[in-house]
Structure 1
Amino acid sequence: MKRIATLLLLAGLAAPAGAQQNPALATYSVGTTTLTLSALSTGLDTPWEILWGPDGFLWMTERGGRISRVNATTGQVLPLLTVADVTETGESGLLGMALHPDFSANPYVYVVYNYTEGGALKEKLVRFTYSATAGTLASPLTLLGNLPATTTHSGSRLLILPDQTLLMTTGDAQLQPEAQNIGSLNGKILRLNLDGTIPANNPTPGSAVYTLGHRNPQGLVRALSGRLYSSEHGPNNDDEVNLIEPGRNYGWPNVEGFCNLPAEQTFCSANNVREPLVAYTPTLAVAGIAAYQNPAIPQWSNSLLMVSLKAGALTHLQLNTAGDQVTSQSNIWAGTYGRLRAICVSPQGRIYIGTSNRDGRTTPGPTDDRILVLENRAYTPNSVRNGRANALVVWPNPASGSFSIKLPEPATSPLEVRDALGRTVQTVALTGRREGNVDIRQLQAGLYTVHTQLSGTRFTQRLLVQ
């Protein structure tokens, strides 16, 4: 029974997210949708990364070295580990994080951080193993290390792709020419296998370099379309939002922003340079970036949301259908809550934002740093909105080997079982039927969701496979 209770807590089944609403700090209008901003967690110290975990918790890094899980309902911070060899100096410290896509079977947490070796500041990628029972991270394994670093331009985000390769951004560490040196790992986006080896199909055989010519990328995201986007700090001009394409050159230090000067045009033509989607002068100090595609805020379908440090702005960037142009953009706010660094979106369409007011660049407020939540409180999924939350019955739950389903009326679509990343792993012919039994012996243990439709309304239930 203790194991089942632990699994239920891990799966987020014991306390549904959104059951508690914190006092509103402000409201914002997006078309006819009213968004409410509130504070989830306070008293933090420079959150660098916030991720939505497969357990229904937020996962967070703080620059000083602490890795935590954050209850998305209560805001309670549950520390997992303070990494002992993190060096926090200037802009350096504990940075980006990613979770293994098959977390139940491979509970690996990937982090990148700065450390000191031989008196020199460096950067490395390390994999830890999570224990849900103990609530700890242990067994560090360095996958990539000894990267030159400095107190600035060493920022790094991590992103795991559907093919289970990992992207890692690196700054130029103030070694500007190295951004154009294919033999250097600085000023790049790197692509590695999850064991740290180099994928055979990288743009340059034998090299971890996926793209080059970057100054200091601070955001990295993959949209549902499959396109990749990054936000990047410019010097005193030309912060960028880039569409990331394998093998492309992004120009730095020879090109700042667009290829609009004669020397830049020559370089761009000769070096396969991909111009940014957007450039900002004066700079905003662009940071985290997230993709938005959720019915909770329909006006933001097919969009990017970006936060910035100097401007303290939450910026909405509308994409075209192809995802290769920004058609419009606007700030939801700017400067109101200080410096903003991290952003993520939950499956329920809530937006979580981490402030960065204790990073030495401003005077922190009495409750800084904070995780803020921006949400449409009037939105609930169709099943709840129609008063039929229990229309799809799944039992037993947790299940092992098989489970049964029951509906009040015949289904109008097949039944789908999806994994924690939303990928369909099993489809069952259920159309026209009210009951059925589903064989799940081929599924690994973990958290899944079961989906079907009744008269055009989609219904979802969580399923824990043991």
Structure 2
Amino acid sequence: MFAKYIVLSALLLTLLTYTQNVLAQEFPQHGLRVETITDNLTIPWAIAFSPDGRIFVTERTGTLRVIENGSLQSDPALKLNVGRAEGGLLGLTLDPNFEQNHHLYLYYTYSEFLSTYNRVSRFTESNNKVADEFILIDKIPGAPIHDGGRIKFGPDGKLYITTGDAAIASLAQDPNSLAGKILRINPDGTIPDDNPFENSPVYSYGHRNPQGLDWDPKTGMLVATEHGPSGERGFAHDEINIIHPGKNYGWPEVIGNEHDSRYVNPLFHTGNVAWAPSGAAFYDDDKIPALKGKFLVANLRSVHLHAFEIDAMHGKILSEQSLFSGTFGRLRDVHVGNDGFIYLLTSNKDGRGSPAPNDDKILKILPMMPTLPPLKQMREGMAVECSDGFELVIKASNGNPACVKPATKLKLMERGWAH
């Protein structure tokens, strides 16, 4: 028995496929391909996905942008008057109940009476516009550098916030300062009863400039990235730390592998080579088998994405791999989308990079397409027959048809390999 399919327009399918993939780059050594989702952004810093498929992205210059149905909306969702240099509109996250309450949270730098601060505020979104600011935590010390800025909801429903030392290293060791810390608050800005320090949002301290946060899906442990020194005490020694409540991570007293029992040692540090690690994410989806189970770190100075296999429970790095080195320039954030694929933000227009045409961009990582058995050349109106138990797919790479089993067809379509 055969199932017969009529090719309506081979040429049209091929042209559509070419259009959709013209911006894709393939990395066969890693089994990955990368597509450009949006370009011509201005220093994008953080990205978030709504349940209805929209993409929200902050631009450090103070603009919140929305991508809907694959199109960057010309009107910004929000425009804030923010601090400059390395401060600005930084972190972004959506409320776990965004579908019901449309709350989103922003971390931004501002100036007041010749002083610089950071704050985290909650806003409400409606029809791609954001308004009704409610300040959750304020007067976080700010500066032209070392502003931290990553915000994420943890599995416990609490909001976690990274803050830099505001270029005053001693603040990281000051328990009464909000600088150089990882903070933990309730979604309404109140302090959780189970925080390690009474009536304080401080969750951990002794940080220089932490910029990435995520939770290990196997253990639930919090892992953070942190920029090392750039002259104050040597150079480099960027860190990855497993964050424990109430613990001191040593800055500026120790860096790298300078062991001291008073401080928590890093899970990993870069030695004398500077990476400037930024956003981070655990990947626990099946859509990209090559990266499943990896801890992904977007790096600015070293212009690559790093994939770690971590044993968080025992504090070990089991393996590591460098991806896309130098290809896309500085990488600010990495995020797992609702579709199970991985998204990157470039940061080549931030004053430290070398912008390529149409920078900055949102990039999407997908698996390489498999090689399917070729069929005869098709033309419009041609009948293509598949044996009983097989169904026709059109390969996304070249528009050619192939006969596959139904389960395979579903998997190919889910991963974007076929139509």
Out of 168-177 and 331-340, give the one that drifted further.
Answer: 331-340
Q: Which runs of 5+ in 2 are unaligned?
A: 1-16, 230-234, 371-389, 393-406, 415-419
- Of 88, 92, 96, 2:87 maps to 92
1:157 aligns with one of 132, 142, 150: 150
1:353 corresponds in structure 2 to 344
Give the match for residue 376 of structure 2: none
CA distance in 2, matches of 1:371, 1:248: 35
Q: What is the rounded CA distance, in whole Å, between the counterparts of 1:347 and 1:148 in structure 2? A: 34
DSSP 3-state at the match of 1:126: strand
Report the equivalent of 1:217.
210
1:164 and 1:194 mapped to 2: Cα distance? 8
1:76 aligns with 2:72: yes
2:268 paired residue number = 278
Q: Name the CA distance, whole Å, in 1 between partners of 2:58 and 2:34.
A: 22
- CA–CA distance in 2 between the matches of 1:75 and 1:325? 42
What residue number does 2:382 align with? Answer: none
Q: Distance in 1 between matches of 2:289 and 2:340?
A: 10
Deviations 1:44-103 (A, max 9, x none): 0000001232222222101011112223x624346443333212x211100001111011
1:253-276 CA-partner distances (Å, limit 9, x unpaired): 0010123xxxxx3xx31x2x2211
Give the secondary-structure state (helix, strand or coil) at the position aligned to 1:139: strand
* Counterparts of residues 58-207 of structure 1 (less than 5 Å): 58-71=55-68, 74-77=70-73, 79-87=75-83, 89-131=84-126, 134-207=127-200
Q: How far apart, CA to CA, are the structure 2 residues paired with 1:371 and 1:274?
A: 35
Tell me what 2:42 maps to: 45
Say if 1:230 and 1:244, in contact at 8 Å, map to a contact too: yes
Q: Deviations for 1:203-243, whole angstroms, at most 9, x for unmatched residues?
A: 01111100001000111112323221111100122000111
**Which sections of structure 1, spanning at least 5 residues, go unmatched?**
1-17, 260-264, 380-385, 389-453, 462-466
Contact kept, 8 Å, 1:57 with 1:70, in 2: the verdict is: yes
Rounded to whole Å, the distance in 1 between the matches of 2:298 and 2:71 is: 21
Q: Which has the higher contact order (CA 8 A, sep 6+)?
A: 2
The answer to whether 1:291 aligns with 2:282 is: yes
Q: Percent identical across equivalent pairs?
A: 36
Q: Are 1:227 and 2:221 an aligned pair?
A: yes
The Cα offsets for residues 298-337 of structure 1, whole Å up to 9 and x where unpaired, read as: 2322211111111110111112384742211111121221
> Could you say what secondary structure the match of 1:21 adopts?
helix
* Secondary structure of 2:148 counterpart: coil
SS at match of 2:120: strand
Contact 2:285–2:340 at 8 Å: present in 1 too? yes
**Number of aligned positions between the proteins:** 355
Separation (CA, whole Å) in 2 of partners of 1:355 and 1:46: 8
Do 1:300 and 1:318's aligned partners in 2 also have CA atoms closer than 8 Å? no
Partners of 1:298 and 1:233 in 2: how far apart? 30
Summarize the Cα distance change of 1:119–1:74 in structure 2 as closer, same or farther, 3 Å threshold.
same
Q: Would the alpha carbon gap of residues 347 and 223 (structure 1) be closer, same or farther in structure 2, given more than 3 Å must change? A: farther
Q: Find the aligned partners of 1:77 and 1:224 in 2 and give their Cα distance.
A: 34
| TM-score (ref. length: structure 2) | 0.79
Aligned-partner Cα distance in 2 for 1:295–1:104: 25
The partner residue of 1:341 within 327, 332, 335 is 332
1:389-400 alignment, distance < 5 Å = none
Change (3 A) 1:296 1:99: same
Which residue type is aligned with residue 168 of structure 1? I
**How far is 1:371 from its partner?**
0.9
Aligned match of 1:406: none
Question: Could you tell me the TM-score, scaled by structure 1's length?
Answer: 0.71
Q: 1:58 to 1:377 in 2, by over 3 A?
A: farther
Distance apart, 1:348 and its partner CA: 3.3
CA distance in 2, matches of 1:341, 1:116: 24
The residue type paired with residue 247 of structure 1 is G
Cα offset, 1:153, TM superposition? 0.3
Deviates more, 1:40-49 or 1:327-336: 327-336
Show the 5 A alignment for 1:365-376. Answer: 365-376=356-367
Q: Is the 8 A contact 2:26 2:368 kept in 1?
A: no
